[in-house]
Structure 1
Amino acid sequence: MTRLLLCALLLATSSLLQAEPPELKPNAWLNVKTEGQPTARHEAALVGFQGKLFLLGGRRINPVDVYDPETNVWTTKSETPLELHHFQGVVVGDAIYLMGAMTGPYPKETPLEKVVVYHPKEDRFDFVHSIPESRRRGGAGAIYRDGWIYLVGGITNGHVDGCRSWFDRYNPKTGVWEILPDAPHERDHFQAAVIGNRLYAAGGRVTSKRDNAVFSQTISKIDVYDFDAGRWLPPEECPDLPTERAGNSVIAIAGQLVVGCGESANQKEAHDEVEVFNPATSEWKTWPSMNRGRHGTGLVVIGDSLFTASGSGNRGGGPELTTTERLVLPK
């Protein structure tokens, strides 16, 4: 009888242990040993499309690189029609829109005159609608919502000056371009994400080589736009990014804002911190740091994992990386 009771207690204990919820914090980033590797580049866009990673653009003319997590293989596609960098890629249907792109060398890069679109299934680029001359800029944040691409911030004169607080929306079907109320802060070199009915513009800086302030004027305040109210929230109602950086990557995961990567005047090495904001609780938490800090790339969720690849390992233009990292997300 005692033996039966002991067995029952052991079984109950085992059952309770198995029923415990998984750790909410991911364990660690893994360096993925892939077959092939992405082209070394930075100031590029990493975009998730139909279960694969698409790495587009960057300094110089580069091919599109595609990673399939199921086969663990990187493959090379066609080159961009010209040098394209400092943009955030936005998926619309079967295409990827390269929004807020610039071309040309540092420090006086030129914003594009037209929207560039990549068609993954055809491995083809198109120049589509013209961008109003007075609203052309690069290094802006972009998101897609309800048939419109929203573009916030950016810089008009490469790295020299011209940081803006502009906020526009663009209809990818018709080419209609509408000017919306400016954001509370000027910023460039950042990314944006949408959670529910709100847009979050996180990170970035006011770049001004003219004032010898390329890296130093980073922005802590996150600007939040409420689509239902049709207004930007007052700064006092918006969160502050714990670690200021520009050239950072932003993604929304399970209703939370994830900010990783980046560069700043505070350190030579690119940032490896990953910080997560929960709008429901207004609290920040820290996820594991990447194995290698990087900037000028992106974060993409595919399946149960968060991926990043390529980018620059230090502040500025190098070293350009060819590594791929993966963080398994909690269920």
Structure 2
Amino acid sequence: MKRILLAAAVAASFLTPAAARAHFIFLVQKHHDGKDRVHVYFAEEAAPDNPELLKKLDGMVVKAVSAKGEAKAVDLKADENSLTSEVPAGTPFTTTTFQYGVMARNESNRYRLVYHAKSGPVLGDAAWKAVDTSKMVEVDLIAADTKDGKIELTVLWKGQPVPKSEVAAVIPGIGPKKAETDDQGKVVFEKGEPGLFSARARIIQEGKGEEGGKPYDSTRHYGTVSFSTASVSGTKELAPLTPAVTSLGGAIVGDSLYVYGGNLGSAHSYSNKGQSNTLRRLSLSGQSGWETVAEGPALQGLAVVAHGGKLYRVGGFTAKNDEGKPNDLESQASVACFDPAVGKWTDLPALPEARSSHDAAVLGDTLYVIGGWKLGGGEGDTQRGWHNTAWSLDLTAKKPEWKAVAKPPFERRALAVAAYDGKLYAIGGMQKEGGPTTKSSIFDPETNAWYEGPALVGDDGMTGFGASAFATGGKLYVSTSKGNLQRLSADGKKWEIARELPTARFFHRMLPVDDSRFVMVGGANMDSGKFEQVEIVSVTE
């Protein structure tokens, strides 16, 4: 009879250089483009890796498992970073078992490699108890939340608990951790921050055999699971924004959401036909769909704010080149006001400097513009100048004029700017030197001085790149490309994860509907592309 060795018996191999380069199959379910999808990654963790490695999974079958436990194969297609497929709405699990083949380290170490992977619903979902996925994957990991706010995983082999099995987990906000199951096959991990939790376990099955003409002495089974640790409940979808855009401006006036401009094309593809020049409006009461209410210059990388029942459009850049031609991008200094009661734009004093990839916010009656750069046009877009200035404009003045404020202690673009507690917060962005950052800087108009603020929660600068920020309900929030909503702590000394968002966007707009809700519009994700869906998300303590 074949003999099963638990992962603990060979735990040392997790620490070898070869294991450090090992890859495992992870299934991750996401909601984007108004659809539920499963993504297949072949990597060290549940995230994109070299897409060329996905070719090694040829013939793999992924099944969508319904709440009734019924499994149906889905059609996988390759995208930029994964194999992916749409799954029926509300699918709690997806699973796969894939026989990779025979591996031979040497003549005395030949083994067959089999992967078992599963994605699950949010932690605490009833499907974790109701659906028996051990019928689909021989190595099964089942998740449950504990009374003290931790995660309990149970490792099963053919439906039976596996004691003393080493489990390697990647915990959001904490990182990699390892632990060993108890006599009931259970192991407990910290929950970490809201986000994607993934884990893997290994079981070795002794027994000689042959596959594809290659002999082996044992079979190594790797089981993986991934799921969200934070609920995305409290989300409502509005009419989709079609065509979808990124790098747009947006604001709310009354019960209407307005968006202007943006990039209609693919990432890093710019042309005069690929930029929007329309002002679109959506009633937040849901009584009608999107309508075009005005036109103007084609712009992206601009800022739009609301004040006194009107919209203010600031800067941005225009692509002067035709599609397929070398980039000819030129930042603009134009500023204009749109009055919904009149239905047309009125020009205001231009910015002292042409500017794009900046952000703006209104504090009191004053409009502030911070960050960005100047694209000077010309073939290939080689003329760039980063701004180290910031400007203010009194929107109530009879003859408004731009006034310089204290120079920021940074040069950043693709940042988020928000007014909160009598101050301006400049958050994240791309630095002139040093790449993307999670840093924040605070401007106090009373003293005309800048000082350093807390960094966003995140292990890399991309968390703050293309983020969006706004205050509501007496608190300041930031929506990040990592798909979490961060909130400034009461003492202003740190950022905290408020909740996980249904979509992970950057170059989008997050705007307050009321004291407890935001609307998310526009933007994109590196994995899934641009978002058409418009979401209202709730924030809670």
Question: Please, what TM-score do these two structures have when normalized by structure 1?
Answer: 0.67
Shift of 1:115: 1.1
Higher normalized strand content (fraction of residues): 2
Q: Are residue 257 (structure 1) and residue 257 (structure 2) matched? A: no
Q: Are residue 299 (structure 1) and residue 464 (structure 2) matched? A: no
Contact between 1:273 and 1:288, CA under 8 Å: does it hold in 2?
A: yes
- Aligned match for 1:107, one of 267, 270, 276: 270
Q: Which amino acid aligns with 1:326?
A: R
Q: Distance in 1 between matches of 2:196 and 2:233?
A: 6
Q: Are residue 143 (structure 1) and residue 281 (structure 2) matched? A: no
Match of 2:316 in 1: 154
Q: Distance in 2 between matches of 1:120 and 1:32?
A: 31
Match of 2:324 in 1: none
Q: Are residue 163 (structure 1) and residue 327 (structure 2) matched? A: no
Contact between 1:170 and 1:178, CA under 8 Å: does it hold in 2?
A: yes
Aligned alpha-carbon RMSD (Å): 3.1
Query: Highest relative contact order (Cα 8 Å, sep 6+), 1 or 2?
Result: 1
Shift of 1:286: 1.5
Rate the CA distance shift 1:265–1:71 in 2: closer, same or farther, 3 A.
closer
Shift of 1:102: 3.3
Match of 1:15 in 2: none
Match of 1:63 in 2: none
Q: Please give the per-residue CA displacement for 1:198-256, whole angstroms capped at 9, x wherever unaligned.
A: 11111111135746557952211112112343456565x42212111111111111221
Q: Distance in 2 between matches of 1:185 and 1:281?
A: 24
Q: How many residues align?
A: 256
Contact between 2:249 and 2:303, CA under 8 Å: does it hold in 1?
A: yes
* Structure 2: segments with no counterpart, 5+ residues: 1-191, 198-229, 321-326, 493-541
Match of 1:277 in 2: 443
Structure 2 SS opposite 1:291: coil
Shift of 1:131: 1.2
Rate the CA distance shift 1:130–1:303 in 2: closer, same or farther, 3 A.
closer
User: Structure 2 matches for 1:187-198, cutoff 5 A?
Assistant: 187-198=355-366
Q: Are residue 92 (structure 1) and residue 253 (structure 2) matched? A: yes
Shift of 1:75: 5.5
Contact between 1:97 and 1:116, CA under 8 Å: does it hold in 2?
A: yes
Q: Distance in 1 between matches of 2:477 and 2:193?
A: 10
Rate the CA distance shift 1:104–1:231 in 2: closer, same or farther, 3 A.
farther
Contact between 2:414 and 2:430, CA under 8 Å: does it hold in 1?
A: yes
- Aligned match for 1:267, one of 410, 434, 437: 434
Contact between 1:35 and 1:72, CA under 8 Å: does it hold in 2?
A: no
- Aligned match for 1:118, one of 282, 285, 310: 282
Shift of 1:186: 0.6
Contact between 1:155 and 1:164, CA under 8 Å: does it hold in 2?
A: yes
Q: Distance in 1 between matches of 2:288 and 2:483?
A: 24
Contact between 2:329 and 2:381, CA under 8 Å: does it hold in 1?
A: no
Deviates more, 1:153-162 or 1:285-294: 153-162
Rate the CA distance shift 1:233–1:174 in 2: closer, same or farther, 3 A.
closer
Structure 2 SS opposite 1:102: coil
Structure 1 SS opposite 2:385: coil
Q: Distance in 1 between matches of 2:475 and 2:405?
A: 28
Structure 2 SS opposite 1:261: strand
Contact between 1:262 and 1:294, CA under 8 Å: does it hold in 2?
A: yes
Q: Which amino acid aligns with 1:287?
A: G
Match of 1:46 in 2: none
Rg larger in structure: 2
Shift of 1:77: 5.1
Q: Please give the per-residue CA displacement for 1:17-71, whole angstroms capped at 9, x wherever unaligned.
A: xxxxxxxxxxxxxx851699xxxxxxxxxxxxxxxxxxxxxxxxxxxxxxxx998
Q: Which amino acid aligns with 2:330?
A: G
Q: Which amino acid aligns with 1:200?
A: Y
Q: Distance in 1 between matches of 2:441 and 2:383?
A: 20
Q: Please give the per-residue CA displacement for 1:83-102, whole angstroms capped at 9, x wherever unaligned.
A: 21112320111121113333
Question: Please, what TM-score do these two structures have when normalized by structure 2?
Answer: 0.43
Q: Distance in 1 between matches of 2:430 and 2:339?
A: 32
Rate the CA distance shift 1:74–1:209 in 2: closer, same or farther, 3 A.
farther
Q: Distance in 1 between matches of 2:257 and 2:301?
A: 17
User: Structure 2 matches for 1:1-331, cutoff 5 A?
Assistant: 32-33=193-194, 73-74=234-235, 78-105=239-266, 106-108=269-271, 110-122=274-286, 125-132=289-296, 135-157=297-319, 160-207=328-375, 210=378, 217-231=385-399, 237-268=404-435, 270-292=436-458, 293-311=463-481, 321-330=482-491
Q: Distance in 2 between matches of 1:324 and 1:171?
A: 31
Q: Distance in 1 between matches of 2:194 and 2:351?
A: 41
Shift of 1:149: 0.6
Q: Distance in 2 between matches of 1:70 and 1:329?
A: 23
Rate the CA distance shift 1:242–1:114 in 2: closer, same or farther, 3 A.
same
Q: Distance in 1 between matches of 2:479 and 2:382?
A: 24
Q: Which amino acid aligns with 2:485?
A: T
